[in-house]
Structure 1
Amino acid sequence: MPRMARNKISSTVFLVIQKSELKLFRDDQDRKQFLALLKETKSKYQFACYGFSLCDDDQFGLIIHVKHQTISKIMQSLMIAYAKYYASEEKLYKERYKSYPIKNKADMDKAFDQLHKKDSPYASLCYYKGAREDSMQLIDYYTNQPFDIKPIQKLEIPEKIKLLCDDHHCTREDIQNNKELRNQCILEIYRETGCSLKDLAVLFEISPSMVSKIIKSEANQL
Protein backbone atom coordinates (compact mmCIF):
# COMPACT_ATOMS: atom_id res chain seq x y z
CA MET A 1 0.00 0.00 0.00
CA PRO A 2 1.52 3.37 -1.00
CA ARG A 3 2.36 5.84 1.71
CA MET A 4 0.11 8.84 2.10
CA ALA A 5 1.70 12.24 1.61
CA ARG A 6 2.42 14.14 4.77
CA ASN A 7 0.27 17.18 5.47
CA LYS A 8 1.87 20.53 4.81
CA ILE A 9 2.34 22.32 8.13
CA SER A 10 3.10 25.99 8.74
CA SER A 11 6.38 25.35 10.54
CA THR A 12 10.00 25.08 9.52
CA VAL A 13 11.29 23.65 12.82
CA PHE A 14 10.73 19.97 13.64
CA LEU A 15 11.44 17.32 16.22
CA VAL A 16 12.32 14.14 14.30
CA ILE A 17 12.39 10.69 15.90
CA GLN A 18 13.60 7.58 14.04
CA LYS A 19 13.44 4.15 15.66
CA SER A 20 14.83 0.82 14.53
CA GLU A 21 14.24 -2.80 15.48
CA LEU A 22 17.99 -3.28 15.13
CA LYS A 23 20.73 -1.83 17.28
CA LEU A 24 20.95 1.44 15.40
CA PHE A 25 24.14 2.47 17.20
CA ARG A 26 26.39 -0.53 17.87
CA ASP A 27 29.04 1.61 19.56
CA ASP A 28 30.27 5.19 19.85
CA GLN A 29 32.04 4.91 16.50
CA ASP A 30 28.61 4.57 14.90
CA ARG A 31 27.47 7.68 16.75
CA LYS A 32 30.50 9.63 15.54
CA GLN A 33 29.82 8.52 11.99
CA PHE A 34 26.17 9.53 12.26
CA LEU A 35 27.15 13.04 13.42
CA ALA A 36 29.63 13.28 10.55
CA LEU A 37 26.92 12.31 8.07
CA LEU A 38 24.52 14.77 9.72
CA LYS A 39 27.10 17.50 9.17
CA GLU A 40 27.50 16.50 5.50
CA THR A 41 23.72 16.50 4.99
CA LYS A 42 23.49 19.91 6.64
CA SER A 43 26.14 21.26 4.27
CA LYS A 44 24.19 19.89 1.30
CA TYR A 45 20.73 21.12 2.30
CA GLN A 46 21.61 24.11 4.51
CA PHE A 47 19.32 23.34 7.44
CA ALA A 48 20.12 24.18 11.07
CA CYS A 49 20.43 21.65 13.89
CA TYR A 50 19.32 22.83 17.34
CA GLY A 51 19.48 19.55 19.15
CA PHE A 52 20.12 15.83 18.85
CA SER A 53 20.16 12.72 21.01
CA LEU A 54 21.96 9.51 20.06
CA CYS A 55 21.97 8.11 23.60
CA ASP A 56 19.61 5.20 22.90
CA ASP A 57 20.93 2.25 20.94
CA ASP A 58 17.75 1.79 18.89
CA GLN A 59 16.74 5.37 18.00
CA PHE A 60 17.88 8.93 17.40
CA GLY A 61 16.19 12.30 17.80
CA LEU A 62 16.88 15.60 16.04
CA ILE A 63 15.59 19.15 16.27
CA ILE A 64 16.14 20.85 12.94
CA HIS A 65 15.17 24.02 11.13
CA VAL A 66 14.62 22.99 7.51
CA LYS A 67 14.65 26.57 6.14
CA HIS A 68 13.97 26.30 2.38
CA GLN A 69 14.14 22.49 2.08
CA THR A 70 11.58 19.77 2.81
CA ILE A 71 11.93 17.58 5.88
CA SER A 72 11.45 14.45 3.75
CA LYS A 73 14.37 15.23 1.44
CA ILE A 74 16.70 15.99 4.34
CA MET A 75 15.81 12.82 6.24
CA GLN A 76 15.93 10.61 3.15
CA SER A 77 19.47 11.79 2.38
CA LEU A 78 20.68 11.33 5.97
CA MET A 79 19.08 7.93 6.50
CA ILE A 80 20.26 6.47 3.19
CA ALA A 81 23.81 7.65 3.90
CA TYR A 82 23.79 6.07 7.36
CA ALA A 83 22.25 2.82 6.10
CA LYS A 84 25.04 2.52 3.51
CA TYR A 85 27.64 2.99 6.23
CA TYR A 86 25.87 0.53 8.55
CA ALA A 87 25.78 -2.13 5.81
CA SER A 88 23.23 -4.43 7.43
CA GLU A 89 21.66 -7.36 5.60
CA GLU A 90 18.43 -6.54 7.45
CA LYS A 91 16.37 -3.44 6.80
CA LEU A 92 17.60 -0.74 9.15
CA TYR A 93 14.40 1.34 9.21
CA LYS A 94 11.24 -0.75 9.12
CA GLU A 95 9.06 2.16 10.19
CA ARG A 96 9.06 5.70 8.86
CA TYR A 97 10.47 8.46 11.04
CA LYS A 98 8.07 10.63 13.03
CA SER A 99 8.21 14.40 12.64
CA TYR A 100 6.52 16.87 14.97
CA PRO A 101 6.20 20.57 14.04
CA ILE A 102 7.52 23.06 16.57
CA LYS A 103 5.53 26.28 16.39
CA ASN A 104 6.22 27.96 19.73
CA LYS A 105 8.20 27.81 22.96
CA ALA A 106 5.83 25.27 24.55
CA ASP A 107 6.40 22.87 21.64
CA MET A 108 10.16 23.35 21.95
CA ASP A 109 10.08 22.70 25.70
CA LYS A 110 8.32 19.38 25.05
CA ALA A 111 10.82 18.46 22.34
CA PHE A 112 13.77 19.19 24.60
CA ASP A 113 12.20 17.17 27.43
CA GLN A 114 11.77 14.23 25.07
CA LEU A 115 15.40 14.29 23.94
CA HIS A 116 17.13 15.27 27.19
CA LYS A 117 17.75 12.01 29.02
CA LYS A 118 21.31 12.30 30.25
CA ASP A 119 24.50 14.30 29.78
CA SER A 120 26.46 12.82 26.93
CA PRO A 121 28.79 13.92 24.12
CA TYR A 122 26.16 12.39 21.84
CA ALA A 123 23.32 14.58 23.08
CA SER A 124 23.15 18.32 22.58
CA LEU A 125 20.37 20.87 23.06
CA CYS A 126 21.33 24.37 22.01
CA TYR A 127 19.18 27.27 23.15
CA TYR A 128 18.58 30.05 25.64
CA LYS A 129 15.46 32.03 26.48
CA GLY A 130 14.52 34.85 24.14
CA ALA A 131 13.66 38.41 25.06
CA ARG A 132 9.95 37.60 25.34
CA GLU A 133 8.34 35.02 27.57
CA ASP A 134 6.88 33.18 24.57
CA SER A 135 10.09 33.17 22.51
CA MET A 136 13.26 31.10 22.56
CA GLN A 137 16.67 31.71 21.01
CA LEU A 138 17.93 28.58 19.28
CA ILE A 139 21.60 28.05 18.48
CA ASP A 140 22.79 25.95 15.55
CA TYR A 141 25.09 23.17 16.80
CA TYR A 142 27.52 23.46 13.88
CA THR A 143 27.68 27.22 13.21
CA ASN A 144 26.47 28.83 16.49
CA GLN A 145 24.08 30.99 14.45
CA PRO A 146 20.96 32.04 16.42
CA PHE A 147 17.32 31.79 15.42
CA ASP A 148 14.40 33.17 17.43
CA ILE A 149 11.36 30.90 17.54
CA LYS A 150 8.10 32.68 18.23
CA PRO A 151 4.46 31.64 17.98
CA ILE A 152 3.53 31.10 14.32
CA GLN A 153 0.33 32.62 13.04
CA LYS A 154 -0.60 31.56 9.55
CA LEU A 155 -1.48 34.62 7.49
CA GLU A 156 -3.26 35.12 4.20
CA ILE A 157 -1.08 36.55 1.43
CA PRO A 158 -2.84 39.98 1.18
CA GLU A 159 -2.59 40.42 4.94
CA LYS A 160 1.11 39.56 4.95
CA ILE A 161 1.87 41.92 2.07
CA LYS A 162 0.13 44.76 3.91
CA LEU A 163 2.22 44.04 7.03
CA LEU A 164 5.42 44.02 4.95
CA CYS A 165 4.52 47.36 3.35
CA ASP A 166 3.85 48.84 6.80
CA ASP A 167 7.13 47.45 8.19
CA HIS A 168 9.21 48.86 5.32
CA HIS A 169 7.16 52.06 4.88
CA CYS A 170 6.69 51.34 1.21
CA THR A 171 4.09 50.41 -1.36
CA ARG A 172 3.48 47.14 -3.14
CA GLU A 173 5.11 48.67 -6.23
CA ASP A 174 8.21 49.60 -4.22
CA ILE A 175 8.65 45.97 -3.18
CA GLN A 176 8.19 44.79 -6.74
CA ASN A 177 10.83 47.22 -8.07
CA ASN A 178 13.47 46.65 -5.35
CA LYS A 179 14.99 43.19 -5.91
CA GLU A 180 16.68 42.96 -2.51
CA LEU A 181 13.49 43.93 -0.69
CA ARG A 182 11.40 41.72 -2.98
CA ASN A 183 13.54 38.70 -2.22
CA GLN A 184 13.27 39.23 1.55
CA CYS A 185 9.50 39.58 1.23
CA ILE A 186 9.22 36.41 -0.86
CA LEU A 187 10.97 34.42 1.87
CA GLU A 188 8.78 35.91 4.62
CA ILE A 189 5.56 35.31 2.69
CA TYR A 190 6.62 31.74 1.90
CA ARG A 191 7.30 30.99 5.56
CA GLU A 192 4.32 32.70 7.13
CA THR A 193 1.50 31.92 4.69
CA GLY A 194 2.42 28.39 3.61
CA CYS A 195 1.74 29.34 -0.03
CA SER A 196 3.23 27.45 -2.96
CA LEU A 197 6.14 28.53 -5.17
CA LYS A 198 3.64 28.84 -8.02
CA ASP A 199 1.50 31.27 -6.01
CA LEU A 200 4.57 33.40 -5.29
CA ALA A 201 5.63 33.31 -8.93
CA VAL A 202 2.25 34.67 -10.01
CA LEU A 203 2.25 37.26 -7.22
CA PHE A 204 5.69 38.66 -8.11
CA GLU A 205 5.51 37.97 -11.86
CA ILE A 206 8.59 35.72 -11.97
CA SER A 207 9.10 32.02 -12.67
CA PRO A 208 8.65 29.32 -9.99
CA SER A 209 12.28 28.28 -10.51
CA MET A 210 13.39 31.85 -9.76
CA VAL A 211 11.24 31.85 -6.61
CA SER A 212 12.94 28.62 -5.53
CA LYS A 213 16.42 30.15 -6.07
CA ILE A 214 15.45 33.28 -4.12
CA ILE A 215 14.10 31.28 -1.16
CA LYS A 216 17.21 29.12 -1.06
CA SER A 217 19.56 32.09 -1.29
CA GLU A 218 17.74 34.15 1.36
CA ALA A 219 17.40 31.21 3.77
CA ASN A 220 21.11 30.41 3.51
CA GLN A 221 21.98 33.90 4.73
CA LEU A 222 20.18 33.38 8.06
Structure 2
Amino acid sequence: IQFMKTKGIWPAAPRDTVVLSHVERLPDGRYLNVTQSIEHSGLPPRDAEGIVRMDAKIAGQIVGPSLDGNPGKCRVIQVADGDLRGWIPKSVIGFIATKAVPLSFKTLDRIVSELPKATESAAILLAESSDTSKGKAAAAAAVAAFRRPSLSIVTSPTAPSAATAGVVARRSGSSTPSFLTRIRRVLEWWSPFMITVLFAMRAWKEIKLRRAIAAAASGGGYP
Protein backbone atom coordinates (compact mmCIF):
# COMPACT_ATOMS: atom_id res chain seq x y z
CA ILE A 1 0.00 0.00 0.00
CA GLN A 2 1.43 3.36 -1.06
CA PHE A 3 0.48 6.97 -0.43
CA MET A 4 1.48 9.50 -3.10
CA LYS A 5 1.09 13.27 -3.10
CA THR A 6 1.88 15.92 -5.72
CA LYS A 7 2.23 19.65 -5.19
CA GLY A 8 -0.30 21.89 -6.85
CA ILE A 9 0.54 24.39 -9.57
CA TRP A 10 -1.98 27.23 -9.73
CA PRO A 11 -4.76 27.07 -10.68
CA ALA A 12 -4.73 23.31 -10.06
CA ALA A 13 -4.89 22.11 -6.45
CA PRO A 14 -2.45 19.62 -4.91
CA ARG A 15 -3.47 15.99 -5.30
CA ASP A 16 -2.89 12.70 -3.54
CA THR A 17 -3.87 9.05 -3.88
CA VAL A 18 -3.71 5.79 -1.94
CA VAL A 19 -3.05 2.69 -4.03
CA LEU A 20 -2.57 -1.03 -3.60
CA SER A 21 0.29 -2.37 -5.73
CA HIS A 22 1.10 -5.94 -6.68
CA VAL A 23 4.27 -7.21 -8.34
CA GLU A 24 5.03 -10.71 -9.59
CA ARG A 25 7.00 -12.73 -12.11
CA LEU A 26 4.84 -14.06 -14.95
CA PRO A 27 5.18 -17.67 -16.19
CA ASP A 28 6.98 -16.47 -19.34
CA GLY A 29 9.58 -14.63 -17.24
CA ARG A 30 8.26 -11.11 -17.67
CA TYR A 31 7.57 -8.84 -14.69
CA LEU A 32 4.11 -7.53 -13.85
CA ASN A 33 3.33 -4.51 -11.69
CA VAL A 34 -0.31 -3.51 -11.23
CA THR A 35 -1.83 -0.71 -9.12
CA GLN A 36 -5.35 0.33 -8.13
CA SER A 37 -6.77 2.99 -5.81
CA ILE A 38 -8.16 1.87 -2.46
CA GLU A 39 -9.67 3.43 0.64
CA HIS A 40 -7.48 3.37 3.75
CA SER A 41 -8.64 4.28 7.25
CA GLY A 42 -5.25 5.75 8.09
CA LEU A 43 -5.24 8.04 5.05
CA PRO A 44 -8.73 9.47 4.50
CA PRO A 45 -9.43 12.14 1.84
CA ARG A 46 -8.09 15.57 2.87
CA ASP A 47 -10.78 17.79 1.38
CA ALA A 48 -10.58 20.21 4.32
CA GLU A 49 -6.95 20.93 3.36
CA GLY A 50 -7.82 21.63 -0.26
CA ILE A 51 -6.19 18.40 -1.52
CA VAL A 52 -7.99 16.52 -4.30
CA ARG A 53 -7.95 12.70 -4.05
CA MET A 54 -7.06 11.14 -7.43
CA ASP A 55 -8.53 7.80 -8.47
CA ALA A 56 -6.44 5.16 -10.25
CA LYS A 57 -8.84 2.75 -11.94
CA ILE A 58 -6.04 0.47 -13.09
CA ALA A 59 -2.39 1.18 -13.82
CA GLY A 60 0.78 -0.81 -14.21
CA GLN A 61 3.56 -2.13 -16.38
CA ILE A 62 4.69 -5.38 -17.97
CA VAL A 63 8.46 -5.55 -18.40
CA GLY A 64 10.07 -8.10 -20.71
CA PRO A 65 12.88 -8.62 -23.22
CA SER A 66 13.22 -6.19 -26.11
CA LEU A 67 11.79 -7.27 -29.45
CA ASP A 68 15.23 -7.23 -31.11
CA GLY A 69 16.70 -9.51 -28.43
CA ASN A 70 19.16 -6.88 -27.18
CA PRO A 71 20.26 -8.11 -23.70
CA GLY A 72 20.92 -4.54 -22.57
CA LYS A 73 17.36 -3.35 -23.25
CA CYS A 74 13.85 -4.27 -22.18
CA ARG A 75 10.34 -3.64 -23.48
CA VAL A 76 7.90 -1.87 -21.18
CA ILE A 77 4.14 -1.90 -21.76
CA GLN A 78 2.41 0.68 -19.57
CA VAL A 79 -1.31 1.10 -18.94
CA ALA A 80 -2.80 4.03 -17.02
CA ASP A 81 -6.53 4.53 -16.58
CA GLY A 82 -7.50 7.00 -13.91
CA ASP A 83 -9.32 10.17 -12.97
CA LEU A 84 -7.35 13.20 -11.75
CA ARG A 85 -10.58 14.54 -10.26
CA GLY A 86 -11.33 18.21 -9.73
CA TRP A 87 -10.85 20.81 -12.44
CA ILE A 88 -7.69 20.91 -14.53
CA PRO A 89 -7.20 23.07 -17.65
CA LYS A 90 -7.42 21.04 -20.87
CA SER A 91 -4.04 22.44 -21.89
CA VAL A 92 -2.45 20.85 -18.82
CA ILE A 93 -4.08 17.49 -19.49
CA GLY A 94 -2.93 17.69 -23.10
CA PHE A 95 0.61 18.50 -21.99
CA ILE A 96 0.67 15.52 -19.61
CA ALA A 97 -0.66 13.12 -22.24
CA THR A 98 1.47 14.29 -25.17
CA LYS A 99 4.63 15.70 -23.58
CA ALA A 100 5.13 14.83 -19.91
CA VAL A 101 4.62 11.07 -20.19
CA PRO A 102 6.97 10.60 -23.20
CA LEU A 103 9.57 12.84 -21.55
CA SER A 104 9.35 10.80 -18.35
CA PHE A 105 10.23 7.65 -20.33
CA LYS A 106 13.22 9.41 -21.88
CA THR A 107 14.38 10.57 -18.44
CA LEU A 108 13.92 7.07 -17.02
CA ASP A 109 15.90 5.57 -19.90
CA ARG A 110 18.75 8.02 -19.27
CA ILE A 111 18.83 7.28 -15.52
CA VAL A 112 18.65 3.51 -16.00
CA SER A 113 21.47 3.60 -18.55
CA GLU A 114 23.75 5.00 -15.81
CA LEU A 115 22.88 2.25 -13.33
CA PRO A 116 24.75 -1.07 -13.09
CA LYS A 117 23.15 -3.83 -15.16
CA ALA A 118 21.01 -6.34 -13.26
CA THR A 119 19.49 -9.65 -14.31
CA GLU A 120 17.35 -10.14 -11.20
CA SER A 121 14.68 -7.79 -9.85
CA ALA A 122 15.12 -7.01 -6.15
CA ALA A 123 11.41 -6.17 -5.93
CA ILE A 124 10.46 -9.55 -7.43
CA LEU A 125 12.83 -11.42 -5.13
CA LEU A 126 11.40 -9.61 -2.14
CA ALA A 127 7.82 -10.31 -3.25
CA GLU A 128 8.58 -14.00 -3.79
CA SER A 129 10.60 -14.40 -0.59
CA SER A 130 7.47 -14.53 1.60
CA ASP A 131 8.61 -15.28 5.16
CA THR A 132 11.61 -17.43 4.29
CA SER A 133 14.93 -16.13 5.56
CA LYS A 134 16.68 -17.50 2.47
CA GLY A 135 14.47 -15.48 0.15
CA LYS A 136 14.86 -12.31 2.20
CA ALA A 137 18.63 -12.76 2.26
CA ALA A 138 18.67 -13.14 -1.55
CA ALA A 139 16.56 -10.02 -1.94
CA ALA A 140 18.79 -8.05 0.42
CA ALA A 141 21.86 -9.18 -1.51
CA ALA A 142 20.29 -8.10 -4.79
CA VAL A 143 19.46 -4.67 -3.38
CA ALA A 144 22.97 -4.25 -1.94
CA ALA A 145 24.56 -5.23 -5.26
CA PHE A 146 22.35 -2.82 -7.16
CA ARG A 147 23.06 0.23 -5.03
CA ARG A 148 25.84 2.59 -6.02
CA PRO A 149 27.09 5.25 -3.54
CA SER A 150 27.92 7.73 -6.28
CA LEU A 151 24.40 7.73 -7.68
CA SER A 152 22.61 11.02 -7.04
CA ILE A 153 18.84 11.19 -6.76
CA VAL A 154 17.21 14.29 -8.21
CA THR A 155 13.74 15.13 -6.99
CA SER A 156 11.20 17.36 -8.68
CA PRO A 157 8.81 19.61 -6.75
CA THR A 158 5.94 18.27 -8.88
CA ALA A 159 6.96 14.62 -8.79
CA PRO A 160 4.91 12.33 -6.54
CA SER A 161 6.63 11.03 -3.43
CA ALA A 162 5.64 7.52 -2.37
CA ALA A 163 5.74 6.09 1.14
CA THR A 164 4.40 2.95 2.73
CA ALA A 165 1.04 3.70 4.28
CA GLY A 166 1.92 1.87 7.50
CA VAL A 167 4.78 4.25 8.25
CA VAL A 168 3.28 7.54 7.07
CA ALA A 169 3.39 10.18 9.79
CA ARG A 170 0.91 13.01 9.55
CA ARG A 171 1.06 16.26 11.44
CA SER A 172 -1.97 16.92 13.53
CA GLY A 173 -3.54 20.34 13.27
CA SER A 174 -6.74 22.26 12.97
CA SER A 175 -9.27 20.95 10.49
CA THR A 176 -10.18 24.51 9.52
CA PRO A 177 -8.59 25.41 6.19
CA SER A 178 -6.05 28.20 6.29
CA PHE A 179 -6.72 31.52 4.59
CA LEU A 180 -4.52 30.61 1.63
CA THR A 181 -6.24 27.24 1.30
CA ARG A 182 -9.63 28.96 1.20
CA ILE A 183 -8.39 31.30 -1.54
CA ARG A 184 -7.01 28.36 -3.54
CA ARG A 185 -10.29 26.46 -3.31
CA VAL A 186 -12.32 29.50 -4.35
CA LEU A 187 -10.00 30.24 -7.28
CA GLU A 188 -10.02 26.62 -8.40
CA TRP A 189 -13.81 26.51 -8.33
CA TRP A 190 -14.11 29.87 -10.12
CA SER A 191 -11.34 29.35 -12.70
CA PRO A 192 -13.59 28.05 -15.52
CA PHE A 193 -16.00 30.95 -14.99
CA MET A 194 -13.17 33.48 -14.75
CA ILE A 195 -11.74 32.28 -18.05
CA THR A 196 -15.18 32.53 -19.69
CA VAL A 197 -15.76 36.05 -18.33
CA LEU A 198 -12.31 37.26 -19.41
CA PHE A 199 -12.84 35.81 -22.88
CA ALA A 200 -16.23 37.53 -23.16
CA MET A 201 -14.75 40.87 -22.04
CA ARG A 202 -11.94 40.58 -24.55
CA ALA A 203 -14.40 39.73 -27.34
CA TRP A 204 -16.61 42.71 -26.41
CA LYS A 205 -13.63 45.09 -26.49
CA GLU A 206 -12.66 43.73 -29.90
CA ILE A 207 -16.22 44.29 -31.20
CA LYS A 208 -16.28 47.87 -29.88
CA LEU A 209 -12.92 48.59 -31.47
CA ARG A 210 -14.04 47.24 -34.84
CA ARG A 211 -17.23 49.32 -34.67
CA ALA A 212 -15.22 52.45 -33.91
CA ILE A 213 -12.87 51.79 -36.82
CA ALA A 214 -15.83 51.18 -39.16
CA ALA A 215 -17.51 54.40 -38.00
CA ALA A 216 -14.31 56.40 -38.54
CA ALA A 217 -13.84 54.90 -41.99
CA SER A 218 -17.38 55.89 -43.00
CA GLY A 219 -16.77 59.49 -41.94
CA GLY A 220 -18.87 59.42 -38.84
CA GLY A 221 -15.93 59.84 -36.50
CA TYR A 222 -15.26 58.02 -33.32
CA PRO A 223 -18.16 57.76 -30.84
Q: TM-score surpassing 0.5?
A: no
> In terms of Rg, which structure is larger?
2
TM-score category by the smaller chain?
A: under 0.3
Give the TM-score of the pair, scaled to structure 2.
0.24
* Structure with the larger strand share: 2
Give the TM-score of the pair, scaled to structure 1.
0.24
